Structure 1
Amino acid sequence: MSGMSASLGANGARQAALLIDADNFSDPQAIDAAWAELNAYAGRVSVCRAYGAGPRLEWLQSVWRYLGTRTFPNLPLQKNTTDAALIADAVALHFQQGIRLFAIASGDADFAPLAVRLREWGCEVWCFSMEGIVFRDADAYYDRVKCFPAPVFTPVPVTPAPLRPVVPSARGGNADAGAATAEPPAYRAAAAPLSASPMFDAGLPDEVARILNAVPGLRERPQQLCHVVPVLQRHGFFDKRITRSTAFLARHAAYFELSPAHKPTLLAFRAPPSLQDAVPDEPAPAIAAGVASVSPEDAQALQRILAAFATWLPDTVRQLSMMDTLLQEGGVQIGSKPLHELFGAYPDYFKLLPATGPAMKVRLLKKPEGFALAC
């Protein structure tokens, strides 16, 4: 606390470290506010680091650039390595650089043992989180807990327009693609719940229909769990002091899917087959002349893949191990299928690398013109 000794920087300011779990704490405004609050208190944020899945870190790259943040993507393993990397760095920063003021930007209880140990070593430890997702009794483990209000992230309902023909810029490439994704996506905060959709709500349990009415964006695509939970709490679906959000949603596992299974961050609505049959099929995106034709189902799947990587330019390569998060957020159904099988199903558009041995990368060969962006 204020009486604790702390290492000082060149200007007499306390050296402070802000360590961000980007898989749990990913709202751009909250990240900026957390950095500003710690900087005002300590006089200097000498270390700012972010940990998480590669696609998530890439999505927030404008925030990291603005705050001078070093990013540490997960190792290319099946298991999430965010927590272990953050914990290892915190211990090293204390013993190697003498930092004694830490702020952990995550509401995950997995960091509680780290906070306890750092405090035993004489450090002051803060927690930044979003309302509704910080673990219970966090105040007992941290010197200070600050929760930021979560906006209601509801995508504005629009009918996707056909993709305009690509016009190369003076520097080459797609002039529109970079502008469309240079900053994190903007969302509109809903002033009031939208009306229910009779087509979807017919035949649904009453509570499921009310959840969809409170978070209408779930009908369109998966939503960030940290943004959905505060909305459900405000509508009185559950009390976080009594019921965990994941336990509440598990009651409706037939309709809502949490992913990933370990430390879920996304919530998706899965309409029962009877309702899916009632929804008229959308026409497949038109494919320009000269481009290999695909079936309507494959055309829609290909559209979702390309929409998940709006800035992916032809003849450029991406790591397969860094693509799963953005695919899931884009509504692409991966399931247990390896990613190389997903891209291998479209040899006219993707090439797996290397040509022999296990696939590690994928090259985009071309983008079909006339596809509507499903973002």
Structure 2
Amino acid sequence: MIALLIDADNLSSPAWVDEAVETLERNEGAVAIRRAYGSAENMKGLADVLRLRAIRPFVNLPLSKNTTDMSLAVDAMELACLAPRPKLMAIASGDLDFVPLVVRLRERGIRVVCISERAKLSQDAIPAYDQVIYVGAGQVLVPEPEKLEILALAVEVVRPAPKKSVAKAAPVKPATTKAPAVATKKAAVKKAAKKSPGKAAEAVTSPQTIVAAFPNLRLGQWLELSDVAKILHDKKLLAKSATSTKLFKKFPEHFELTPAGKPNKVRLIQL
């Protein structure tokens, strides 16, 4: 028997809840127990996916303190005491609070899987689980509306200037001696810009445009450097030959890299 317990105050996207159920069934088999815990507001937003996936909603009491984690943990231990008990229990949340629960479930011989968004999963929680399944990886990250203008400006700057069509005209007076020099200078600038698009991209890349291209940095959590670099390459904010490590080291007051020797994670300190 497989049980899926969803912390709807943490995993609150309908698309990701649907993906969690689909992925778990594809990898492990039929999910017999499906429950979601959360506030009335979050449950309302998940109403359609809860109905389509036959997930039982457990709404919290309207108290001053959020009690979702406690409600989920109590039910998890109750399920662990059943006969027969679940062979696998999936907790859909990235909260670190669930680590003591995970340890107790594993002590009772239950395999425990974590399902979470990559940006919301606490790194300290990963070792406690038998397996971690990330959802939302295929979602397209869209910059915040107020940052779209900045990003559009950056892209416009690095875009090569279109070639001007030359129309045939009547003979004109010979140009002055300075004109050929000006034309030659303009041609040289265009040629240099065409040869080194990477330098042009780095010149307009700033902490603001980086965060606009990868909004999850605003969460302040450690993120995979490779994921951030891929988005920056796709957005033309980082040249193919350039490294993301070198780029982030240019802004030490805004970004932090770890580990010091060979960084593989990055987080935003401040803008």
Bin of the TM-score, shorter chain as denominator length: 0.5 to 0.7
Instruction: Tell me the SS of whatever aligns to 1:116.
Output: helix
TM-score, structure 2 normalization: 0.57
Deviation at 1:140, TM superposition (A): 1.6
Give the length in aligned residue pairs: 186
1:83–1:110 contact (8 Å) kept in structure 2: yes
Aligned partners of 2:211, 2:132: CA distance in 1, in Å? 31
2:104 is aligned to: 117
Aligned partners of 1:225, 1:194: CA distance in 2, in Å? 23
1:97-246 alignment to 2 at 5 Å?
98-148=85-135, 149=137, 150-154=139-143, 193-195=151-153, 207=207, 209-210=208-209, 213-214=212-213, 225=219, 233-234=228-229, 237-239=255-257
2:74 is aligned to: 88
Counterpart selection for 1:54 from 40, 62, 66:
40
1:32 is aligned to: 18
2:96–2:124 contact (8 Å) kept in structure 1: no
2:190 is aligned to: none
The letter of the residue matching 1:67 is R
The letter of the residue matching 1:214 is A
Q: 1:195 to 1:110 in 2, by over 3 A?
A: farther
1:132–1:226 contact (8 Å) kept in structure 2: no
Identity of aligned residues (%): 37
Q: 1:194 to 1:22 in 2, by over 3 A?
A: farther
Deviations, residues 291-342 of structure 1 (Å, cap 9, x unaligned) = xxxxxxxxxxxxxxxxxxxxxxxxxxxxxxxxxxxxxxxxxxxxxxxxxxxx
1:130–1:226 contact (8 Å) kept in structure 2: no
1:283-294 alignment to 2 at 5 Å?
none
The letter of the residue matching 2:212 is N
Q: 1:115 to 1:226 in 2, by over 3 A?
A: farther
Deviation at 1:133, TM superposition (A): 2.3
The letter of the residue matching 1:135 is S
Deviation at 1:67, TM superposition (A): 0.7
Deviation at 1:64, TM superposition (A): 0.7
Deviation at 1:70, TM superposition (A): 1.0
The letter of the residue matching 1:66 is L
Aligned partners of 2:220, 2:25: CA distance in 1, in Å? 25
Instruction: Tell me the SS of whatever aligns to 2:36.
Output: strand
Aligned partners of 2:218, 2:13: CA distance in 1, in Å? 10
Deviation at 1:214, TM superposition (A): 3.1
Aligned partners of 1:72, 1:224: CA distance in 2, in Å? 31
2:92–2:115 contact (8 Å) kept in structure 1: yes
Instruction: Tell me the SS of whatever aligns to 1:117.
Output: helix
Aligned partners of 2:46, 2:111: CA distance in 1, in Å? 28
Deviation at 1:239, TM superposition (A): 4.6
Structure 1 runs not aligned, ≥5 long:
1-14, 158-189, 197-205, 253-375
Which structure shows the bigger proportion of residues in helix conformation? 2
Aligned partners of 2:67, 2:57: CA distance in 1, in Å? 13
Structure 2 runs not aligned, ≥5 long:
155-205, 233-247, 249-254
Instruction: Tell me the SS of whatever aligns to 2:81.
Output: helix
- For the pair shown, which has the larger CA radius of gyration, 1 or 2? 2
The letter of the residue matching 1:23 is D
Aligned partners of 1:41, 1:240: CA distance in 2, in Å? 32
